[in-house]
Amino acid sequence: MATNPAIAAEGKTILGHPRGLFVLFFAEMWERFSYYGMRALLIFYLTKHWLFSDGDASLIYGAYTSLVYITPVLGGYLADRYLGQRKAVLFGAVVLTLGHFLMAFEGTGGQGDPTISIFWLALAFIIVGSGFLKGNISVIVGQLYPRTDVRRDGAYTIFYMGINLGSFFGVLIAGFLGETYGWSYGFGAAGVGMLLGLLVFIWGRPLLMNRAEPPAPERLRERVAGVPFEWLLYGLGLVAIAIIWALVQYQQVVGTLLLISGLALFGYIGFTAVRQLPRDDRDRIFAILFLLLLQPVFWGLFEQAGAGVNLFTDRHVDRNFFGYEIPTTWFQSVNAAFIILLGPVFASLWTSLGRRGIEPSTPAKFGLAIVQVGLGFLALVWGAQAFGSQNMTPMILIVFLYLLHTTGELCLSPVGLSAMNRLAPRHMAGLIMGAWFFATAGGNFVAGQISAATGAENAESGEGAKELFLNVWTTVGWTAVGIGVVVLVLAPFVKRLMHLDTLQDERMAGTPELAEPIAPSPNTNGETVPGKA
Ligand code: GLN
């Protein structure tokens, strides 16, 4: 391997990986620290500070979190064509830092306070900043390695751990400060975290080995209307902030936008596949589209975490732990903690099932994920009813919900990222990755709608409100279980569309990044794969 000049350029390594990976690890860790720290507080900030109804707050939550995942399609496009990923991430990080600090302006609160304009502006900054950063930083991870490097999957494993480490501490720290000392302390902490991410990224630039630079730097220096083209692109980012500032205040427009752009995106991908691709590649695109269509179902339920489940935990769950009242937002860290604990377990599970030839296919794992996310809600409903709907629900039931949602996430999120990478033809890779995040956005929007349904009556008023949560969750829980079962039945047919036998350059089966622990070791087929150290 050392004869490969790309690998020789790495110099010293850490855990067998180029040091640049750890620059990305810490930068993304801090970015997710700020994202999830802020998200944990958001629904309460909307309902308790700005005094939105549960329903409106849920729709705003859904519109905001879906826009966060729509914009990476555009950020990815600009990076691929002009900016290169490093510059795009840098710009995104600056915008994000400003956005999180803008969140700290809370004014006096209530519906009549004009300071709310700054709040909308802060959301717009975070949305556009994420568009430049989130997808592109994930792309740089892969760019540190040659195409066929067996360490890639392991690199994504490490990176995913960084994401969840950031999420874990972000929720604990920003959530605690926000709930205990005041909103601006929580959001300010998120801002400090993002600033640290920005500094790590600037400091670590040399370790990225010039792999994520602009495809044509001279084009960026060309003057257009007297200004370097690169500045114009950043100017475009500022225009986007202004547009989204307006858009985020009209949540239903976001729904229409999602629908129209989703149809256009899917139509374009399908059309390209039918018109331009050979049979096997075309079929793989159909398999990809099938997987993408399932995303809104999974995330629609999963993302209740920051919305309806957060409100329910605040009002109806007994959070008393030996005399200490656990802050509501802390329950959001349970998911990240389970990911960190269970990631390696799932990794070896897939590997050992794979060795025996009984590893579920990627679509089957998606089916299992959707069943689990539905079961999570049903278990909570049954548990809450068993303890008496009129009593406070024990917190262990919420923890159990997050456990099932996390095992579901491990069957879907890293598995899906890996599948997008593997099934897309090379020249469509960026587009397909953008479509993956876009489909997540659909899920976030659905989450807002479901959460709004749980808040149709004002839950603060007491009687009946808890029942409403449980009724809505029974419906969505059974619906998800039903869809998951149908997906499991269809899975063998979709697997056939994946044509795994003719895939070159890659290994078999839907092995997710998390299935690949770190150090290289020979597998049973005699090839070298990242296996257990
Ligand atoms: N939890 C992961 C992250 O924050 C996945 C999120 C998603 O795909 N919606 O990156």
Give percent of the chain above pLDDT 70.
91
- In this predicted model, what pLDDT tens digit does every residue of 328-380 receive, in sequence order? 999 999 999 999 999 888 878 888 888 898 989 999 999 999 999 999 999 99
Mean pLDDT of 106-125: 94
- Ligand 1 centroid – CA 1 distance (Å): 33
Closest residue by CA, ligand 1 atom 10:
163
In this structure, is residue 533 part of a structural domain?
no
The band of 504, judged by pLDDT with boundaries at 50, 70 and 90, is low
Q: Which domain holds residue 481?
A: 18-503
pLDDT at residue 131 above 50?
yes
303 CA closest ligand 1 atom index? 9
Cα–Cα distance, 403 to 369 (Å, whole number): 12
Alpha-carbon distance of 2 to 8, in angstroms, equals 6
Residue 283's pLDDT is 95
Least-confidence region, from 132-146, 274-288, 516-530 = 516-530
Q: What is the mean pLDDT of the chain?
A: 88
DSSP 513: G
CATH number, domain containing residue 379:
1.20.1250.20
Q: Is the CB of 195 under 6 A from ligand 1?
A: no
**Residue 454 confidence (pLDDT):** 85
Q: What local confidence, expressed as pLDDT, does residue 149 receive?
A: 75
Predicted pLDDT at 523: 34
**By mean pLDDT, which of 12-16, 322-326, 407-411, 420-424 is the weakest?**
420-424
Residue 454 vs residue 95, higher pLDDT: 95
- Cβ 165 under 6 angstroms from ligand 1: no
* Whole-number pLDDT of residue 63: 93
Residue 235: what are its φ and ψ, rounded to 5°?
A: -60, -40
pLDDT at 52 over 70: yes
Q: DSSP letters of 260-306?
A: HHHHHHHHHHHHHHHHHS-HHHHHHHHHHHHHHHHHHHHHHHHGGGG
Centre of ligand 1 from the C-alpha of residue 200, in Å: 21
Q: How far is the CA of 413 from the centre of ligand 1 (A)?
A: 7
Task: Quote the number of domains for the chain.
Answer: 1
pTM of structure: 0.86
Whether residue 56 is contained in a domain is answered as yes
**How far is ligand 1, taken at its centre, from the CA of residue 460, in Å?**
31
Asked whether residue 296 carries a pLDDT value surpassing 70, the answer given is yes
Q: Quick one: pLDDT band at residue 525, thresholds 50, 70, 90? A: very low
Q: Do the beta carbons of residue 431 and residue 439 sit within 8 Å? A: no
**Hey, how many other C-beta atoms are within 10 angstroms of the C-beta on 254?**
25
Report the separation in Å between the CA atom of 487 and the middle of ligand 1, taken as the mean of its atom positions: 22
Nearest CA to ligand 1 atom 2: 163
pLDDT above 90: residue 389: no
pLDDT beyond 70 at 382? yes
The predicted pLDDT at position 422 comes to 77
The residue written with tokens 């009724």 in the block is 471
Is the pLDDT confidence value at 516 over 60?
A: no
* Ligand 1 pocket residue status of 32, Cβ below 6 Å: yes
- Ligand 1 atom index nearest CA of 299: 9
pLDDT of 531: 29
The torsion of the CA quartet 348, 351, 356, 360, rounded to 10 degrees, works out to: 100
Taking 70 as the threshold, does the pLDDT of residue 508 lie above it?
no
Question: Which tens digits make up the pLDDT trace of 82-91?
Answer: 999 999 999 9
Mean pLDDT of 125-142: 92
Does the beta carbon of 405 sit less than 6 angstroms from any atom of ligand 1?
Answer: no
Ligand 1 atom closest to Cα of 164? 1
Cβ–ligand 1 contact at 163 (below 6 Å): yes
Q: Which residue has the higher pLDDT, 12 or 179?
A: 179
Residue at 26 is within a domain: yes
For atom 3 of ligand 1, which residue has the closest CA?
A: 163
Ligand 1 pocket, residue 332 CB under 6 Å: no
* C-alpha 278 to ligand 1 mean position (Å): 32
Q: Please report whether residue 154 resides in a domain.
A: yes
pLDDT at 148 (0 to 100): 65
Q: Which of 134, 163, 402 to mutate to test the pocket of ligand 1 (most atoms within 8 A of CB)?
A: 163
Within a domain: residue 449?
Answer: yes
Residue type at 266?
A: F
Residue 409 within a domain: yes
pLDDT-derived band at 29, boundaries 50, 70, 90: very high
In a domain, residue 401? The reply is yes
Distance CA 101, CA 121 (A): 11
Query: Tell me, what's the pLDDT at 10?
Result: 79
Domain-embedded: residue 523:
no
Q: Which residues, other chains included, contact 335 with Cβ-Cβ below 8 Å and sequence gap of 6+?
A: 164, 167, 305, 402, 405, 406, 409
Question: Mean per-residue pLDDT for 20-29?
Answer: 96
Question: What local confidence, expressed as pLDDT, does residue 49 receive?
Answer: 96
From the CB of residue 59, how many other CB atoms can be counted at a distance below 10 Å? 24
CB of residue 440 inside a 6 A radius of ligand 1: yes
Cα 69 to averaged position of ligand 1 atoms, centre (Å): 9
Q: Using one digit for the tens of pLDDT, what is the confidence trace for 196-254?
A: 999 999 999 999 999 899 989 999 999 998 999 999 999 999 999 999 999 999 988 99
- Residues 219, 259: Cα–Cα separation, whole Å: 34
- Going from the Cα of 163 to the center of ligand 1, the distance in angstroms, rounded, reads 8
